[in-house]
DNA sequence: CTGAAAGCGCTTACAG
DNA sequence: CTGAAAGCGCTTACAG
């Protein structure tokens, strides 16, 4: 056996005990064994929890997880211009990403399976929660407690990144209508991002209304936490003077005693992977399948009847 | 121009306006344009924040992000057996993952650049925080407030996944020694995972000591939040009866008023990417570079002098 | 059933 | 400077 042959055999053996080169097999099979996930960021509890649900499910399917966190406007333009996921993953999961019509069209052009998570996309498989219905039930809870002046706080979404909260607001308004309560624009507030005093200002505006709200419904638990901190700062007892209700059931919510609408984030992730597999395996007859996961009101100690009038 | 030619030209044009097939270029260049990240899970604030720091830095470097979340023992065995990252990424970033010697050896066998994040690895580039020094300063703060009985709560890490908290405990003990305070094993407590009443039990054990602690130092902010909830449940005022101090500076900590040791999670991620780039570009002479990022004590309202004895 | 050959879509070294 | 050819490491269809 020549020196060269020996070297080659050894190299081959070493190679064999390890993973194969996926690039080579991808090239011939057309499959990458990877799934790409497009998200507006990685920091919220909801997105982390969704990703956590996906990861083991993907692993079980023998798929790897490629993450595109597209956060600022520049990255966004670049992502939709270059479409880096193309031929670089077997499917693209779009999570909580409010797409413009042009962006939606670009994705459709990709010619690869698309699955929408935590958002509805006509004509494409989607997994989400009925935000409107959930918010409807949330506001009903506040109404049942006796509240009549209920504010709704939403994140000011300057960049239009995250999925719209329109549906939650719609559910809230529907509950008010149901109860025969007139809608008051002053009670709907957009709160700017984490930094700065946006929340304090919002609370200030609400408290200086002629008839201030006795309950505050926030679009997300994250927002509710900031609200609770601002109320504490202002020495306003919860639920003594105002009730607070969130949306998500963040891990911290149980610890904080926050009443909220629970949505199954990890389950959304798992279900999205299941849908993806069925699309990839072509096992499923209906590529437009929409799966709506249930939500649940979790009443805790931040909600109570309104204070009695003096 | 024949029908076939036309079709081929159109196809080519369509292809050109889109991304190139990375598998093909990887095959010839040996570069994948991807970086793999190995993490024990995706759910803690710390890991999400680190990942959030990495994502834009990788993007700027034209690198994609492949995530291996290896959570249970089965997955773990499988990961180190199959080594799926091999030839599937240009570098592997190992984040907060306590490796056995055998696992460490397997990774060294990979023959690809390794970067260790939030942990120290001899002979390999690493970015981390001086946990011992930080905890030392934390406990000094409690000592300076007048506390003499200080408990240390750590996460019971049954699976040995996350990086060890040994260093934080060591710093705590060093501060006690400095102050001439005798070490008491009863004041060191391991608290089992999220589910169940582990925290309540731990608090119970501490409160039933002959001389209970007046301050509680937790290994992470997450643990501190659970502790605060348990103390609230037990009607024990913080910091009236006991002081609480965490470690991390979780986003929620500012909102909760939790005194803590801040570690720059996102900055760890960014720095890790910088290190990775310098290793990949071979631009950096020292592949064993260790970067230690600073921590900071953030005093807030969960710490105060101990109650006066009656 | 086994084994050699063709080809996936790129990059790069080389001939013209 | 331009363009055709070789080859990266696999899979698969096909010849033997």
- The confidence band for B192, taking pLDDT boundaries of 50, 70 and 90, is confident
Residue A208's pLDDT band (cuts 50, 70, 90): very high
Indicate whether A6 pLDDT > 60: no
| Longest distance between any two alpha carbons in chain B, whole Å | 101
Q: Considering chain B, what is the average pLDDT of its residues?
A: 90
Is the pLDDT score of A16 beyond 60? Answer: no
Nucleotide nearest to A15 (CA to C1'): D9
Asked whether the predicted pLDDT for residue A8 surpasses 60, the reply is: no
Query: Which tens digits make up the pLDDT trace of B169-184?
Result: 999 999 999 999 999 9
Give CA–CA dist B190/B158, Å, rounded. 10
For B255, the closest of A56, A83, A225 (CB atoms) is A225
Q: pLDDT grade, residue A286 (50/70/90)? A: low
pLDDT tens string A131-176: 999 999 999 999 999 999 999 999 887 665 556 688 999 999 999 9
Mean pLDDT within B239-267: 97
Cβ contact B175:B135 at 8 Å: yes
Contact B56 A64 (CB under 8 A): no
Task: Give tens-digit pLDDT for B30-67.
Answer: 999 999 999 999 988 999 999 999 999 999 999 999 99
pLDDT of residue A258: 98
Whether the per-residue pLDDT at A7 is higher than 60: the answer is no
Please report the pLDDT score of residue A166 as a whole number.
Answer: 87
CA angle, A203 then A161 then A44, to 5°: 65
Q: Which of B55, B251, B256 lies nearest to residue A69, judging by beta carbons?
A: B55
The Cα B216–Cα B227 span in angstroms is: 9
| pLDDT score for A163 | 64
pLDDT confidence of B12, banded at 50, 70, 90?
very low
The structure's pTM equals: 0.92
Q: How far is the CA of A95 from the C1' of C10 (A)?
A: 32
Cβ–Cβ gap B56/A66 under 8 Å: no
Between the CA of residue B168 and those of A171, B192, B280, what are the distances in Å? 48, 18, 32
Q: Is residue B221 within 8 Å of residue B252, measured between CB atoms?
A: yes
Q: What is the mean pLDDT of residues A172-191?
A: 96
| Interatomic distance B28 CA / D5 C1' (Å) | 15
A38 has which bridge partners? A68, A94
* Range in A16-25, A174-183, B108-117 with the lowest mean pLDDT: A16-25
- Mutate which of A48, A77, A221, A229 to disrupt the B interface (most B C-beta within 10 Å)? A48
Q: What is the pLDDT of residue B20?
A: 85
In this prediction, residues A55-84 reach a mean pLDDT of: 95
Lowest mean pLDDT among B3-12, B18-27, B206-215, B297-306: B3-12
pLDDT at A15 over 90: no
Which pLDDT tens digit goes with each residue over A237-263? Answer: 999 999 999 999 999 999 999 999 999
Q: Is the pLDDT of residue B286 over 90?
A: no
Find, in chain A, the residue whose alpha carbon is nearest to that of B67: A65
**Ranked by mean pLDDT, which of A194-203, B14-23, B132-141 comes out on top?**
B132-141
Mean pLDDT of B144-159: 90
Low-confidence winner among A38-42, A51-55, A143-147, A156-160 (lowest mean pLDDT): A156-160
Measured in angstroms, the CA of A180 and the nearest CA of chain B are apart by 36
Q: Which of B47, B58, B67 to mutate to test the interface with A (most CBs of A within 10 A)?
A: B67
Distance from the first to the final alpha carbon of chain B: 101
The partner residue sitting opposite B69, judged by closest CB among A55, A252, A256, is A55
What's the pLDDT band for B14 if we cut at 50, 70, 90?
very low
Q: Which nucleotides of C are covered by protein (CB under 7 A)?
A: 7-12
Is the per-residue pLDDT at A2 higher than 50? Answer: no
Predicted local confidence at residue A3, as pLDDT: 47
Residue B6 (CA) to nucleotide D8 (C1'), in angstroms, measures 30
Axis crossing angle, helix B45-60 with helix B265-280, rounded to the nearest 10: 40
- What pLDDT shows up at residue B19? 75
CA–C1' B43–C15 (A): 57
pLDDT of residue A284: 57
Domains of chain A (ranges; CATH) run 24-129+265-293 (3.40.50.2300), 131-262 (3.40.50.2300)
Q: Do B56 and A69 touch (CB under 8 A)?
A: yes
Q: Give chain A positions within 8 Å (CB) of B193.
A: none
**Cβ within 8 Å, pair A18-B43:** no
What is chain A's mean pLDDT, rounded?
90
pLDDT over 70 for what percent of chain A? 89
Q: pLDDT at position B193, please? A: 75
How high is the pLDDT of residue A66?
A: 98
Query: How far in angstroms lies nucleotide C10's C1' from the CA of residue B25?
Result: 5
- Indicate yes or no: strand D within 7 A of the C-beta of B24: yes
Decide if pLDDT at B99 tops 80.
Answer: yes
B13 compared with B150, residue with greater pLDDT: B150
pLDDT of residue B15: 44
| Residue A1 scores a pLDDT above 80 | no
Q: Which nucleotide is nearest to B30 (CA to C1')?
A: D8
**Strand D contact with A12 (CB < 7 A):** no
Instruction: Please state the rounded mean pLDDT for residues B231-255.
Output: 97
**DSSP assignment of A63-127:** -EEEEEE--SHHHHHHHHHH-TTTTTSSEEEEES----HHHHHHHHHT-S-EEEESS--TTS-EE
Cβ contact, residue pair B21, A27, below 8 Å? yes
Strand C neighbours (CB under 7 Å) are A 24, 27-28; B 15, 20-21, 24-25, 27-29
Cα of A214 to nearest chain B Cα, Å: 22
Question: C2 C1' – A13 CA distance, angstroms?
Answer: 21
Best of A88, A255, A273 to mutate (most B CBs within 10 Å, chain B): A255
- Give the model confidence (pLDDT) of B60-82 as tens digits: 999 999 999 999 999 999 999 99
């Amino acid at each position: 056996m020549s020196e060269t042959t020996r070297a080659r055999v050894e190299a081959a053996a070493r190679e064999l005990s390890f993973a194969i080169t996926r690039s080579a097999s991808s090239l011939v099979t057309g499959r990458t064994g990877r799934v790409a996930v497009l998200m507006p960021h990685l920091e919220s509890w909801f997105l982390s929890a969704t990703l956590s649900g996906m990861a083991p499910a993907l692993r079980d399917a023998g798929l790897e997880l490629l993450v595109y966190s597209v956060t600022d406007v520049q990255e966004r333009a670049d992502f939709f211009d270059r479409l880096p996921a193309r031929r670089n993953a077997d499917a693209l999961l779009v999570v909580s990403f409010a797409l413009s019509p042009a962006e939606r069209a670009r994705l459709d052009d990709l010619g690869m399976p698309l699955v929408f998570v935590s958002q509805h996309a006509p004509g494409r498989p989607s997994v989400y929660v009925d935000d409107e219905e959930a918010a409807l039930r949330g506001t009903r809870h506040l109404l049942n407690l006796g509240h009549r002046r209920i504010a709704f706080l939403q994140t000011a979404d300057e960049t239009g990144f995250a999925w719209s909260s329109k549906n939650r607001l719609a559910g809230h308004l529907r509950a008010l209508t149901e109860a025969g309560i007139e809608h008051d624009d002053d009670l709907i507030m957009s709160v700017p991002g984490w930094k700065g005093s946006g929340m304090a200002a919002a609370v200030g505006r609400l408290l200086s209304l002629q008839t201030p709200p006795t309950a505050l419904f926030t679009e997300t638990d994250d927002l509710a936490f900031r609200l609770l901190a601002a109320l504490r700062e202002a020495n306003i007892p919860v639920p003594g003077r105002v009730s607070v209700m969130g949306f998500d059931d963040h891990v911290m919510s149980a610890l904080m005693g926050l009443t909220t609408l629970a949505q199954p984030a990890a389950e959304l992730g798992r279900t999205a992977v299941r849908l993806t597999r069925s699309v990839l395996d072509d096992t499923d007859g209906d590529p437009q399948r929409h799966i709506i996961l249930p939500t649940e009101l979790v009443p805790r100690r931040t909600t109570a009847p309104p204070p009695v009038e003096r």
